[in-house]
Structure 1
Amino acid sequence: MSTVPSTHPARDAGVTPGAGSATVTGSQTARPGKAAGAVYDAIVIGGGLHGLSAAMHLAREGARVVIVEKHWAGRHASGATAAGVRTLNRDRRELDLSLEAMDMWHAMEALVGDDCGFHANSQICVAESPAALEKLQGRVNGLRADGYTHEEIIDTAELRRLLPDLSHHCLGASIARRDGAADPHRALRAFRQSALQAGVELIEHCGVTAIERQGQDWRVIGEGGRSWTAPAVVNAAGAWSARIAALVGDDIPLAAKSSMMMVTERLRPFIKPVVAIMGRSLSFKQSDQGTLVIGGGLQGIPDLDKETSTARMRVLAKGAHAATDLFPSVTNIRIVRVWAGLEAKTDDLLPVVGPSPNAPGVFHAFGFSGHGFELVPVVGATMADLVLRGSTSRAIQNLTAERLMAQAPGAAQVAKPPADPTVF
């Protein structure tokens, strides 16, 4: 893999292995043994799963880390995710990261002391037409040619064995057997607790208002005039990450997603895999409690200024219709609640992972566009690479911010690899 260098590794002689005890606070309270106002090795902006993961990985290598979170850890996207753990149909530009993340999910208990409710019951993408099946087969053939074996095509017999309640009009599917889903709330608790145990300081209920350069360091200023200083800043502010990036001179185009979910009444257990339909917005799975969780990119109305998402009932109805097309047996069940979260979306639906092109020592981890949950452990480890070692061997060369930013007049244009047409 290619190496992507950063411009300001924070590691120096002052970063030594070993972490102190943790402090969770709504104000600038120092960790025991550290004077108030002392500098850190890294400041993480955003207390969602990606911020928690980055902070945990950094602190486990001896870095002094503080997270600054406007509300509370997991307030937005991380608390509203469907928690799919998916390599299936991943864009090729993030596939290597995704496959490494999948290995980490299969060892999640060793990483954070909890398996986070992860069940590797597979993810399946169903084809309803010969054209859809041909497209899935073409993707699998292409993956095989490049040495990837995690996806396969299954015929109707195997499909019926895995999904006996599936409608008989379905012709086949692609499957990633190591994929599955997890419990987002258990994941939040586990990553939060692991970060605190590693010595991370968590500042909640404090938004960031400014970021200033101070020599070789960055001073992050929060509401009420509180501030923290470090040579490295990790921007993991989710849907608001473009606003944080702008504070250090990075103009990164970013839109917002408001992905909606539906939950039904409890039913008898009848489905283990997570199911999607090629060409339609649907993600369908059954929880441990027996409820069905139905989503798949159904979009509500986001408002970043008000920090709200508004559900759109007609769009939800389309998702419910797709679910009953696939599983006629659920036609008359009741939907008991719906919700929507707020998340960042990039133009190419790929995350921004890597160093700032304009601000030495600033690193971005945002824009996951509805599929960032599975990447949480590996992106956190990548942030630790960049901050502490100045580079990473992980394949992020197609995920850095430059691909989205406006080019200066006369500057060479960065070639963008073609999007995978089978991504859903």
Structure 2
Amino acid sequence: MSPLPPGLVIAAPRSGAGKTTVALGLMRAFSRAGIDVQPFKNGPDYIDPAFHTRACGRTSFNLDSWAMPAELMSALLTQASGAALVLAEGSMGLFDGGAQAGESGIGATADIAAQTGWPVLLVLDVSGQAQSAAAVALGCARLRPDVQVAGIILNRVASDRHHRLASQAIEAAGLSVVGSIVRDDRMGLAERHLGLIPPEEVTALETQIDLLADVVARQCDLGRILKLAVGGRVPTADRKAVPPPAQRIAIARDAAFVFTYPHVLSSWQAAGAEITLFSPLADEGPDPSADLAWLPGGYPELHASTLAGNKTFHASLRRFSRDRPVHGECGGYMVLGQGLVDADGVRHRMTGLLGLETDFSKRKLHLGYRACTLLEASPLGRRGDRITGHEFHYARVVDLGGDPPLLEAVDASGQLVPALSSRRDHVSGTFFHFIAKTG
């Protein structure tokens, strides 16, 4: 096993406990102190890594034991080479993951801690409790023998008395409290239906991250936290990148198309692929010299009127698709369809390259891991290839327009997921975001 820099996994017993704000505060605080921080994010979240990158200046990569083969995980972990400290933010609760094991685990944050050897810095939201927080902390510390909880940060503390009651009980249980953050509404980050608003849209983002760093530095013992970090290990020495689907790839990138996993782009570029960007919102089409046009997910439902009226974008994408592949993910898939009904019930004409009709006015959450087998060759791979991804959207499929499916997909429980993809001529789309090729 190859060594990794000292690191910590920032986790919590549940979602909404404040992991992201604490993680961002720590990343910026240590970076300001001259420590080179490498961030990671457990799970398929595509927004938090962008905030990490802004907080400490290094690209944050997703780690996912359900969706990623061990070899890919190893390749991504080596991105920490040269860093002085690794901070890996968890997802959901520390032990939460898929119903069944995937490629190298269930997708839980605990998997990352166990496989790398990095100890857990547990963020406990103690609002509404005091001494009982010790029972929660102790349960997290003892549930898996291969996961070490090295320290506790109390979050949303109401008063000095509240801090004393919770911290004394936790310390009596044999665990260390290394921070106590007072409840502060300024610590919150703006959200919308898919999670945090992307950092590109946040006004005064640097000021907000500096505020988080100020609070964390003042109310947590950074010296003790730094001493909790221990050197990690890469589970396997093999290397496995995500192969590029073409040599020259034109990717839509603006406020309507923002969701692309960093490890996918970096793997494509490391393999020699050339990436060009275009903005459908600015009425731009893909580079005519590109071999593939790729429309990522994002928020087309918020910009549907503009997208519908941008004729140059429509015409250029239609010309491109006559002899070259075009692929869309989630929001990008919706734009490749015939029409999109927005939250107000207004239908907007999309590019019409697929028969898909989608409706955002009657929202229904679609969320979870996807394991897929390709029925036909596409930018995602050859016929018969197996891939993994993650679906997260609120739009409903009204009609596929008779287009055949691109793939068969099951969720993390092995249940069939319908209406997830379609294809027509050189155009294809899926409602999930591609993570890895697995076979």
Give the TM-score taking structure 1 as reference length: 0.27
State the structure with bigger RCO (CA 8 A, min sep 6), 1 or 2: 1
TM-score under structure 2 normalisation?
Answer: 0.27
